[in-house]
Amino acid sequence: MLRLRNLTLAYDMQGFGEYRYRMFENAGHWFPGRKASRCTECGDCLPRCPENLPIPALLRDAHERLNGPSRRRLWED
């Protein structure tokens, strides 16, 4: 998740990041993972991070940057 955020910020790969982010939770076994909005901000990850990153805040930012606009599915009216 944070890698997609970093690619978006460092290399201006917004389209790629949004495309890959949309695959989370939708592509089954082809692209496993959960969206950043699933973070409960419990803080369990904070003491485990060797770089002392504010992971919940970074995940929230990643979701805001990469979620993109809502899209209509082909089978919905």
Read off the pLDDT of residues 14-71 as tens digits, 9 standing for 90 and up. 999 999 998 888 766 666 788 999 999 999 999 999 999 999 999 999 999 999 877 6
Q: How many domains does the chain have?
A: 1
What's the pLDDT score for residue 68? 80
Q: Is residue 76 part of a domain?
A: no
Q: Is residue 33 part of a domain?
A: yes
Half-sphere exposure of 76 (CA within 13 A, CB side): 4
What's the pLDDT score for residue 23? 86
DSSP state of 2: H
Q: Is residue 35 part of a domain?
A: yes
Residue 50's domain spans which residues? Answer: 2-66
Contact 10, 67 (CB under 8 A): no
What's the pLDDT score for residue 73? 63
Rg of the chain in Å (alpha carbons): 14
